[in-house]
Every structure is written in structure tokens, then in C-alpha cells.
Amino acid sequence: MPETRSTCPYCGVGCGVLVAHADGVVTGVRGDPEHPANRGRLCSKGQTLHLTAAPVVTAQVRATRPLRRAVRGGPWAELGWDEALDEVATRFADAVAQHGPDAVGFYLSGQLLTEDYHVFNKLAKGLVRTNNLDTNSRLCMSSAVAGYQDTLGSDAVPACYDDLAQAGTVFVTGSNMAWAHPVLYRRLEDARRARPQMKVVVVDPRRTETAAEADLHLPILPGTDVVLHHAMLHLMLWEGRTDAAYIAAHTRGFDALRDRVREFSPAVAAKVCGVPEADIVQAARWFADGPTLSAWCMGLNQSHAGTDKNTSLINLHLATGWIGRPGAGPLSLTGQPNAMGGREVGGLSHLLPGHRLVADPAHRAEVAALWGLAPGVELSARPGKAALELFEAAADGALQALWIACTNPAQSLPDQALVRRALERCPFVVLQEAYLGAATAAFADLLLPAASWAEKEGTVTNSERRISRVRAAVPPPGEARADWRIAADVARRLQRRLPDTGARFDWPDAEAVWCEHRAATRGRDLDISGLDWAALERQPVQWPAPQGVGRERLFGDGVFATPDGRACFQAPAWRPVAEPRDARHPVALTTGRWRDQWHGMTRTGTLARLAAHGGEPALELHPQELDRRHWSPGRLVRVSSRRGSVLLPVRPSDAVAPAQAFIAMHAPQVNRLTTPQRCPRSKQPELKHAAVRVEAADLP
């Protein structure tokens, strides 16, 4: 049976897969033994990929033809592709003509391929000339991006997966790696077996599966990460464990940071963070001993202080010199398969291709030239709206048309009351989606059927900057098309309705799109100008690769991507959670993943084999909380925040502390509760913490 080499479409580990197929149907999947990310391994989600593509599942859940409806919530009617594409182009062109370019918006996904992102970005910024293009990666990695930029001068992850095998200490924070990035966690387990002296420290308010296996678990109170990081540096300074020579030679800004951390002794931090002083001291000593690799995810990023949490962690690497060396450095773990690829092509409202910035006039001019814009045609300098801002604008009536691709904001964005108000008020909503069951479909006027995993060509970049090919093993069902083709088809129609900027949208295939993206990287921190498609066909490559050869880790020479080559210490003040608990909302709610489910469960939720793990959505409370309230497991409770409430059965769990609660992020209504407050620098919302009230509820 033929096998096609491709990449898993779920998490940012980016495992290689071999897809078996016959007669246009996917029949099996196995880990690619030659892929450097996973070396043949797959987790439970990856192992069942072929089942999500089975014809019986596809027939039930896939969008296969363009659909339109006259009234929201009314019945869908099929229409042809030409008619559907014309309607999108006409409605967007009319909105631009009547209200200006910023009256339209694009909301994309870290599950799109790099080529999809590139075409959408060029359509929005090079043709419509609006920067109102953002992505659900804003909910995922934007605080890490800002943290890297502010300290290292570049959105470039310095470390790589192989560092797990060489680290002396692995500092896992804000990540249940065992469930969220399972294959990478297996590599950590291998490394511990091979090197029993390795120390694993896990920082997480919950006693997750990752925390339970650690040498040291610090169950800090939500929102106190900056205090912990500052206290660790305080201890390192007190005991002379920083690398003064490295600090002097390769960094700046350390004096301000030293002043900042003076007040955060481990004793003070122990009270603020709610963990023993001795554990903070131990964590700091192990970190300083190194080589230390830190791995983190949403627990740091999804916070209104997300950038501060990232910079204060990266400070520890710079202060100890544990960066850019084997076994050492910051390694942010990407939630989605291509959050990094989206940033490479500029798929966020403040970015342009090649890690350029909308706010920089020289960058705008460079991109206008790269895209072949006509003389005198400039890219817009107006700031674009980031994720939630798009929906706030729509709720205020400022958005006339919204194009949503490959994501499900009516479930995944915080403050669902606002998001749903926005979708209802926006006069024209296009949903480009592979699955009919997405909650956002209820708010769409037009549905464009998209190709999914194993059906399209392109590339993705994983958490260690490794670019891998995604290949089509089978044709898409019905009339579904590749996302980049749909965007290009609309762009060519829009060119007939809007002033022609000179941008072209006539690529013959995904390779041609990728080549245009590659040209935009020349001379930039992610330079892949020396890489060709044929090389990518042979093996995945880590950027930068200016001569075609990838680089496993960055900044080993102590030269950073800042104007003077020095890394910049940041000295953030501590800001507690955005929404502190009070008498009316006395419980701290957090969210996270289940091992066997993916996001809104449109794919993984179709498989009984995966449903067995995790069970039904529930509110997890400490057993003491159930005892105190005389509640039995399974009792129905109402969970209420300042924005909404949900009914769920209660489940005892000693993974959460008393006065804390957990709901899986996959639960359909959890984001009725979460807060829209966000980091002022990264604009990433605080999905990891909301103050809630829990009461007994009885069905009427």
C-alpha cells in the first residue's frame, strides 16, 4: 500500500507521519522513523489520524460544497464555487468602497499552512490594504513572541528538541507537556532514563501528570510567575550563581533588573507564590547549575502579564549564560502545528513577511517591492486589529465583513457573549472550514469548504523552527479546495473590483507560493533563501538556512538580534491576575488540555477511541471542596464568572488546590466564563485565569 510522507496536523511538536492510502482513501498512519522531531513515535491523537479521515466520518462531518443561506440560523443551500467566490469578492469590495479598507477583517488559524497564510496576508495587506488580519495564534504564542523580541531582539526560539538529551535541568513551566506535547515528553523521559542525574522542575498551579513525575513541583498560585522568576534570580545573585562575564560581554540592562529583584527574596516570594521557600531556593540552584532548558506553553503565555512572564524567565537564561549552548536555552512549546509559520509570513496584525513590522516604514517599503506593488502604491501604516479587537470592532458595528478561516471563534475566544454579539452584528461573515460542526458555522452567511489534513500541499514550522512538508495523500472530499487556492481565487476577483495595487495572485502550486515567501526572508533572522523545495522534499530543515543548511540552536556566539548585538534584560514589575478572587467570585478557574482531544473536538471528538480518556466535560474541584459543600461526584453545579455561567457536573480532583477549579478547554461553553483582559504588549488574553462562583444547580 503506498505511503505519503507528511506532518501531523495537531500540536507544535510537528511529528512526521507516513500516511497509507488506497483508491483515494486514507487507510492508516504511522510515525515517520526518519523525521527528527519524533523518530517514528506518535501520540494517541497522531495514531488515530487516519480514523478522523475515514469515509464514514467524512460523510458525517465534512463540508464538501459551498453553502449559503438567506437568514442566519436558517437552512443552507448549495451553490457553485464561481458564485460563492464572486459573492465574497463583491461583498468585501462593497464594504471597502463604502466604509474603507479597515471595515473588513480576516481571522485565521495556526492550523493553516504557511502557504495559506502567505496568500491571505498578501490579499489583506497587499490588495485590500488593511492590517486587520489576525489569527488564533494570538491566543497561543504572542506573549512568547513579544518576550523573545524584547530580550533577544528577534522572534527566534534559541533551543531545539535535541537539547532535552543534554540538559542538566529541564525547567517546565505553565505546561502539561505529558498531555499537550506527548511525543516531546517521551523524549524527556528517555533523557531522564539515560541521565538519571538530570533534574526536572515543574511549575504549575495544578498537580498535572507532568508535575507528578517531576523531581520538584512548585504549585504556585495563579499569576505569580514573575515573582518566582525574580526570586530565583535574587537567590542566584545572593549565592554568586550568575555568570558575570556573560552578562558583561553579551547583555545590557542588568542593573535595572538587579534593582528590581532586590525586593523579591525567596522568603517574600514564598508568601506571594504559596510555595515553600526551600523549593524556590532548590529550583534556583538547579537552574543555575545547568545546562538548563526551559520549556513553557500557555500557562505563561495566556496571561494579561504574558510578556512579563516570558521576559522574566528569559532573564534567568541570560543571567546564567544558559542559552545557545547544548542542553540550554528557552524553548517555548507551540500549541498549534503552524503558529510559527504564520509569524514567518507576517500573519498577525502588526507583522509583515520575514518578521518585518507594519509600524516600520522601511519594512513596508521592502514588502511593497517584494510583492511587486505598482509605483506609488504603499502598504497601510494603520495598526491592524488583533484577534479580540476584530470582534470588539464587529460588536461596535465597525466591521462590515469578516472572513474566518480554519478556526472556531464562537467557541475558542474568551468572553463568548461579546464574540457572539460581534458575529451577529457583522453584516457578512464568511467561514472557510473543513468541518460542518464548528460552532461558528451558526453565525456564517457563506461557508467555503476547505481541504484538510492529508489533502493539501505545503509546509509547517514546528516549535524548534523546523520546516516540514505537508503532502496530499488523497483528494479532498466533494468540492473542497486548498485554503490558499480559495484565498487566491477571491483575490483575483477582488482585483477586478478594487483599485489594482499590482499584487499578483496567480501561483500554479504551493511550491510557487512558498518560493515567494522564501524571497521575503533573505537577509532576515529567519533567512531560508538558500533552501529549495527539493531539499525540503528530502528532509525537514530548521531555519535559518541562508546556505540551505539549517541551524539547530541560535545565539551560541553571544551575538543577539538587537541593534548592538547585546541581549536586553527586562525588569518587569509584578502584576497579579487581571481578575482577583473576591467574596462573590471566590474560586480561581483555570483551563487546560486533555491528553486525547484537540481544541474544539471537531476532529478528535468523532472517535470513540479517544473519547474514553477524559470523559465528559466537568468542573474539577479539590475533594475538600466537595466535602465542605456536601456534594457527591457528578452533582450538577452552576459555574459563574462576571461574564456568564455554565452548568457542569462536578468531579473531585486533587490535581487542583482548594479554592481553585479546572475545566478542560475543549468543553464547548468554557469561554463563556473567561476574561477578555489581555497583555498590553502581546494582546494575548488571560485565558488561564478567571474568578468564578460555584453553586449547586438543579435541573428545573
Of the pair 609, 628, the CB lying nearest ligand SF4 is at: 609
**Smallest separation (angstroms) from ligand SF4 to the CB of 45:** 4
**Smallest separation (angstroms) from ligand SF4 to the CB of 159:** 18
Copy the grid coordinates of residue 589: 478557574
| CA distance to 231, 332, 364, per residue, from 172 (Å) | 17, 10, 38
**Smallest separation (angstroms) from ligand SF4 to the CB of 158:** 21
Of the pair 363, 465, the CB lying nearest ligand SF4 is at: 465
**Smallest separation (angstroms) from ligand SF4 to the CB of 47:** 7
Name beta bridge partners: 316: none
**Smallest separation (angstroms) from ligand SF4 to the CB of 7:** 8
User: Would the CA dihedral through 341, 347, 349, 354 be positive or negative?
Assistant: positive
181's enclosing H/E stretch is: none
Of the pair 187, 643, the CB lying nearest ligand SF4 is at: 187
Give 82's contacts (C-beta < 8 A, 6+ positions apart). none
Of the pair 251, 336, the CB lying nearest ligand SF4 is at: 336
- What one-character DSSP code corresponds to residue 42? -
- Contact indicator for 398, 656 with CB cutoff of 8 Å: no
Of the pair 299, 324, the CB lying nearest ligand SF4 is at: 299
Amino acid at 610: L
Q: At what angle do helices 510-519 and 114-121 cross, to 10 degrees?
A: 70
| CA distance to 88, 459, 476, 661, per residue, from 471 (Å) | 28, 8, 12, 41
Instruction: Indicate the residue whose CB is closest to ligand SF4.
Output: 46
Residues at the contact surface with ligand SF4, assessed by CB under 6 A? 8, 10-11, 13-15, 38, 42-43, 45-46, 181-183
Name the strands in the sheet holding 3-7, side by side, starting at the edge strand that comes first in the sequence.
Answer: 3-7, 16-22, 25-31
Of the pair 11, 348, the CB lying nearest ligand SF4 is at: 11
Of the pair 48, 653, the CB lying nearest ligand SF4 is at: 48
**d(Cα 474, Cα 459) in Å, to the nearest integer?**
17
**Smallest separation (angstroms) from ligand SF4 to the CB of 603:** 11
**Smallest separation (angstroms) from ligand SF4 to the CB of 16:** 9
**Smallest separation (angstroms) from ligand SF4 to the CB of 49:** 8
**d(Cα 29, Cα 21) in Å, to the nearest integer?**
9
Of the pair 338, 660, the CB lying nearest ligand SF4 is at: 338
Of the pair 294, 463, the CB lying nearest ligand SF4 is at: 463
- What one-character DSSP code corresponds to residue 58? H
**d(Cα 268, Cα 275) in Å, to the nearest integer?**
11
Nearest to 103 by CA among 348, 403, 369: 403
Copy the grid coordinates of residue 689: 485565569
Copy the grid coordinates of residue 313: 524567565
**Smallest separation (angstroms) from ligand SF4 to the CB of 25:** 21
